[in-house]
């Protein structure tokens, strides 16, 4: 009798995991349908007023890396089961805190990306949305170029997480 109770308890503990895996879900929180095998990521052109020469390439690669690292999907050039396309619409550095001498104490580096995600298999999960992330920087601490090199990858990481979650975690 105790052996049977132990088996039933183990089954009940394993049931949510089995259901989670059988529905095509990953433990990372992504809910990618089992039938989805491929995704394409188009080049995200920088259409902002301020242009950083490497921003488009870095962002596009960061999104591809996010998909590679957090899903089982194969990335193909075009016409995948899912498709990401869009553009960088804003890259700006604006003061957010002013010192007594009318100089910026802190500035904010902000990046906005407009994304169109098309899910061929489940069109109702497709979306078009803008995503913005930022980091504050102190220009008195170090030159802008030195801080940009550190902050752009951090902002790209946050943006790609938001984009990935919107496509695959249904938030």
Q: Which two tokens stand for residue 71?
A: 């899903």
71 & 134 share domain: yes
Q: Number of structural domains, the chain?
A: 2
Rounded to whole angstroms, how far apart are CA atoms 72 and 34? Answer: 10
Residue 85's CATH number: 3.30.160.150
Whole-model pTM: value is 0.78
Per-residue pLDDT of the chain (171 residues; tens, 9 = 90+): 545 554 555 445 554 444 444 344 343 456 788 899 999 999 999 999 988 999 999 999 999 999 999 999 999 999 999 999 999 999 999 988 766 555 556 899 999 999 999 999 999 999 999 999 999 998 788 888 888 889 999 999 999 999 999 999 865
96 & 140 share domain: yes
21 & 39 share domain: no
133 & 101 share domain: yes
63 & 18 share domain: no
pLDDT digits (tens, 9 = 90+) for 104-135: 568 999 999 999 999 999 999 999 999 999 99
26 & 66 share domain: no
Whole domain around residue 155: which residue ranges? 31-168
**What is the full DSSP assignment across 60-108?**
HHHHHHHHHHH--PEEESS--SEEEEEEEEEEEEEEEEE-TTSSEEEEE
The closest alpha carbon to 44, from 89, 110, 81, belongs to 89
């Amino acid at each position: 009798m105790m052996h049977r109770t132990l088996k039933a308890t183990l089954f009940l503990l394993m049931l949510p995991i089995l259901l989670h895996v059988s529905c095509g879900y990953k433990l990372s929180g992504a809910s990618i349908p089992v039938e989805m095998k491929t995704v394409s990521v188009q080049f995200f052109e920088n259409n902002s007023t301020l242009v950083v020469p490497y921003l488009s390439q870095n962002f596009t690669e960061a999104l591809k890396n996010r998909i590679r690292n957090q899903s089982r999907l194969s990335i193909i050039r075009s016409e995948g089961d899912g498709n990401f396309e869009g553009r960088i619409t804003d890259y700006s550095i604006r003061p957010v805190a002013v010192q007594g001498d009318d100089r910026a104490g802190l500035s904010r580096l902000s990046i906005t990306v407009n994304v169109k995600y098309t899910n061929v298999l489940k069109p109702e999960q497709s979306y078009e949305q803008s995503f913005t992330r930022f980091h504050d920087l102190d220009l008195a601490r170090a030159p802008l170029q030195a801080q940009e090199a550190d902050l752009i990858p951090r902002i790209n990481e946050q943006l790609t997480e938001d984009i990935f979650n919107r496509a695959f975690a249904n938030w």
